[in-house]
A and B are shown apart, each in its own frame.
Chain A
Amino acid sequence: MVPIEHIVGLSALLFTIGVVGALVRRSLLAMLISIQLMLNAAGLAFVGFNRIWQGSEHGQAIDGQVFTVIVISVGAAQIAVGLAMVLALVRNRDSMNVEDMSVLKW
């Protein structure tokens, strides 16, 4: 099977793509999508490490997979709240650009 380095590398690559996307893009939706990408990368790392954990003396342990399920649920909560905030912001400001959301900036 695939060595763990490649799984973790893929996870790190996806996470980095998410970070760069959240930094570079100035659209609220694009930032939400990038954050979702980062959560997915973390879940992939959990499942990958769980495979090594199973190969050790712990046998049937699936704790990493449980963590991934929790990460997926948190992602669902994040997208629900995030989209509600996007809706409210777009209604109030008529823009999806984060450059326009500068009320807290002085």
Chain B
Amino acid sequence: MTLISAQVYLFYGFAGLAVLGALGSWLLVRNAMAAVMSLIVTVVSLSVLYVLMGAHAVAALQLLIQAGTALVLLLFVLLLVNPDPGGFGTRDPGQVVIQIIGAAAALAVGFVIAGTVSVTLPLPAEAAPGSGGFRELGVQLVTVYAVPVEAVGLLLLAAVVGAVVQTRQEGR
């Protein structure tokens, strides 16, 4: 097996794993903790896909930020609020039909978008070797994309301040 075909097999394997994790994060599991773990499967699979596509720096950041921080935060809150075991996804029986119609409509829109995009795209070509490292990414971030990076920094600051204000309890 050559390296290229190994890459292709890895891609489809982890793509399937990502879809399974995504489905499991709300469809297959009844437990909130298992749902978060399922989302972690998707996030880690996506970072493997990033590596296969040559975006090594993005894959590392995905693991560090998404899996390492965001999902751990999610687990912490899960432990804090202690959701009742049956309360994750209890549904109103009268709304099931509406929900199924809405889900089918969303699926249809997704397929239409995917079909349009795949028809109008040019043929793929191989990526240039040696791109996607932290050096190239860092240079881009501090030169061309300096303003968006500052905007994201401002957004994160606002998010942290907002989170503290929201969760602060009066009188303590």
Contacts and interface: CB of A to CB of B under 8 A. Distances in A.
Contact of B35 (A24, A29, A43, A69): A29
Given A37-B25, A40-B66, A68-B58, 13 more contacts: A4-B124, A17-B26, A20-B107, A27-B89, A34-B26, A60-B128, A73-B65, A76-B66, A77-B158, A79-B73, A80-B160, A80-B163, A87-B167
Nearest to B87: A96
Interface string A1-22: 1111111111011111111110
Contacts of A65: 55, 57-58, 132, 137
A76 B163 CA distance: 12
A53 B13 CA distance: 25
Contacts of B121: 4-5, 8, 52
A53 to B, nearest CB: 9
Interface string B101-124: 011001101110110011001101
Contact of B73 (A52, A56, A80, A91): A80
B113 A12 contact: yes
Interface of B: 4, 7-8, 11-12, 15, 18-19, 22-23, 25-27, 32, 35-36, 39, 42-43, 46, 49-50, 52-55, 57-58, 61-62, 65-66, 69-70, 73-74, 77-78, 80-81, 83, 87-92, 99, 102-103, 106-107, 109-111, 113-114, 117-118, 121-122, 124-128, 130-132, 136-137, 140-141, 144-145, 148-149, 152, 155-156, 158-160, 162-164, 166-167, 169
Interface string A36-64: 11001001100110111011100111110
B110 A15 contact: yes
Given A27-B32, A73-B65, A14 B22 contact: yes
B156 A12 contact: no
A14 B21 CA distance: 10
Interface of A: 1-10, 12-21, 23-27, 29-30, 32-34, 36-37, 40, 43-44, 47-48, 50-52, 54-56, 59-63, 65-66, 68-70, 72-81, 83-88, 90-91, 95-97, 99
Contacts of B169: 91
Contacts of A27: 32, 83, 87-90
B32 to A, nearest CB: 5
A68 B145 CA distance: 12
A62 B32 CA distance: 37
Interface centre among B111, B131, B160, B164 (most CB of A within 10 A): B131
A55 B117 CA distance: 18
